[in-house]
Amino acid sequence: MYSNTSYLPAKSLEKYIDRYYLFEKEDNDFFHLPKILPGTGLELVFHLETALSVNNIVLPQAHTICPREGFSFDKTDKVSFLSVRFKSGRFRHFTKRSFLDLNDQFISVDKLWGKAGSNLVAELKNIKSIEAKISCIDAFLLKMFDENYNPGDEKWNPIIDELYYQFNDINLANLSSKLQLSMRQFQRNFKSQFGITPKRFQQLARMQSIVKKGLLNNDKNYLDTIYDSGYFDQSHFIKEFKAMVKRKPLEYFNEQNFTTNFYHKSVNANSNTKSKQPQS
């Protein structure tokens, strides 16, 4: 069995952070964690016990995950981590590190924030309750925000939101006009802010939406979704899915992935959400 619990961040951070979530595996059988698919977000992961590994390389005790290509954690018998899931593009307000350096890398907190990051990890080891750990991380992130925030970058937040939520309807030329930039300037500045081109972000947002909806709804019939999401036909979707996920859709949308995945339903301001799911 594993448990997956979501928590809201401090009110002052809700504009930038979607949730905290605690993932714990509750037995000693070896276990393949769900594959991390390409996506648009970034997470800051704090391993509460032994750190996970990828390709037999042990990860730092606290690090970023920013997957623009998919990957898998190594098989393990113990899992316990607390993750901060940032809204798309928002992590850049908390560090001077560019997304060009963060994408597809596991950057430790001490490399991100130096001694302050190392002190955070040491402090968390002495805190028992998850709620107290979250409060500690909240306070740290607020401090990093104050030190790194550039008001001039704020104008890009609604742009990334439009691409994320309206990927099917948005016109990149209209977005560039909103910022009073030529298309070439828009593409160059977007990549500087987010580490990928706006077109690639749009593709990732579309695929992420389809996969998330399918897995959370236990829906094997993805055809109803793909046409609403802007794909021209089934072969167009299958080709792009295989390129991103490295599997055919019919192979991926199965009971195992319906049961074990890292996607979450929305959390609201009134309550935290908690769910326990069986091991696959």
Concatenating the DSSP letter of every residue in the chain gives: -EEEEEE---GGGTTTEEEEEEEEE-S-S-B-PPPBPP-S-EEEEEESSSPPEETTEEPPSEEEE--SS-B-PPPBS--EEEEEEEPTTGGGGS-S--HHHHTT---BHHHHHTHHHHHHHHHHHT--SHHHHHHHHHHHHHHHHHHH--GGGTTHHHHHHHHHH-TTT--HHHHHHHTT--HHHHHHHHHHHHSS-HHHHHHHHHHHHHHHHHHHTT---THHHHTTTT-SSHHHHHHHHHHHHSS-HHHHSSHHHHHS-S--PPPBTTB-EEEEE---
- Whether residue 96 is predicted with pLDDT greater than 50 in this model: the reply is yes
pLDDT confidence band for 277 (50 / 70 / 90): very low
In CATH, the number for domain 153-257 is: 1.10.10
pLDDT of 272: 47
pLDDT (mean) for 93-104: 94
Residue that wins the pLDDT comparison between 222 and 226 = 226
What is the separation of C-alpha 241 from the centre of its chain, rounded to a whole number of angstroms?
18
What is the separation of C-alpha 226 from the centre of its chain, rounded to a whole number of angstroms?
22
pLDDT of 173: 93
pLDDT confidence band for 157 (50 / 70 / 90): very high
Residue that wins the pLDDT comparison between 57 and 260 = 57
pLDDT of 174: 92
State percent of the chain over pLDDT 70.
Answer: 94
pLDDT confidence band for 30 (50 / 70 / 90): confident
pLDDT (mean) for 3-20: 94
pLDDT of 175: 93
pTM: 0.90
pLDDT (mean) for 170-195: 93
- Whether residue 279 is predicted with pLDDT greater than 50 in this model: the reply is no
The domain limits of the chain are: 2-150, 153-257
